[in-house]
């Protein structure tokens, strides 16, 4: 397995062309039991539809997709992790964005990719004049530990907020991070 992994933004056209790789990342998360909005019986078609909606949002300037790409994996590389920044479109929150689909394929975890994706997301927030980021994750998950270790502030837990892939309701922890526009 290669160690030549780059973090980069992906435009909508490339996301559409490589949707199979994006689907594989969510499929890996769901199959591993992660609560990422989908249940175990989700089809690849539904996952592909999700990424098509993301690409539409990219084209409209509402979302940016970042990936970690193993550039030596095979010709053209292979996407192995994702993160989204979704810019609030509300008139009263032009300073805010949400973070989502922070996913690292199980074969690539514990290499610092999630931290690097968070750095890219925070940079994109600054570039777009966003000073407040928000996200949620399953309470007790590796994601929760990641966000706590990277200065995100937990502000609440909602019991039974989301189902795991097997249909069990689990609590969700909500986080925010204030972004210094000068950093």
pTM over 0.85: yes
- The tens digit of pLDDT for each residue in 154-178 reads 999 999 999 999 999 999 999 999 9
Residue 182: predicted pLDDT: 80
Supply the mean pLDDT for the chain: 95
3-state secondary structure of 173: strand
CATH architecture of 5-178: 3-Layer(aba) Sandwich (3.40)
Q: What is the mean pLDDT of residues 111-120?
A: 97
- The tens digit of pLDDT for each residue in 24-45 reads 999 999 999 999 999 999 999 9
Question: Could you tell me the residue ranges of all domains in the chain?
Answer: 5-178
Q: What is the mean pLDDT of residues 124-140?
A: 97
Neighbouring residues of 149: CB distance < 8 A, sequence distance ≥ 6: none
Residue 109: predicted pLDDT: 94
Predicted confidence band at 75 (pLDDT cuts at 50, 70, 90)?
low
Q: Transcribe 54-115 into DSSP letters.
A: HHHHHHTTSEEEEEEEETTSSTT-EEEEEEEEEE---TT-TTEEEEEEEEE-GGG-SSSHHH
Predicted confidence band at 2 (pLDDT cuts at 50, 70, 90)?
very low
Residue 171, judged by CB atoms within 10 A of its CB (0-12, 13-18, 19+), counts as middle
């Amino acid at each position: 397995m290669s160690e030549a992994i780059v973090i980069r933004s992906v435009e909508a056209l490339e996301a559409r062309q490589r949707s199979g790789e994006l689907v594989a990342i969510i499929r890996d998360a769901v199959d591993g039991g992660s609560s990422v909005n989908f249940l175990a019986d989700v089809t690849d078609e539904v996952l592909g539809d999700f990424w098509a909606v993301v690409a539409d949002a990219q084209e409209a300037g509402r979302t940016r997709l970042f990936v970690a790409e193993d550039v030596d994996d095979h010709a053209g590389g292979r996407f192995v992790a994702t993160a989204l920044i979704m810019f609030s479109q509300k008139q009263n929150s032009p300073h805010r964005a949400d973070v989502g689909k922070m996913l690292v394929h199980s074969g690539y975890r514990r290499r610092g990719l999630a931290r690097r994706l968070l750095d890219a997301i925070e940079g994109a927030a600054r570039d777009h004049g966003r000073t407040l980021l928000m996200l949620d994750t399953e309470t007790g998950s590796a994601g929760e530990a990641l966000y706590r270790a990277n200065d995100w502030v937990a502000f609440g837990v909602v019991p039974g907020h989301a189902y795991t892939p097997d249909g069990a309701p689990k609590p969700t922890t909500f986080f925010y991070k204030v972004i210094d526009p000068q950093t």
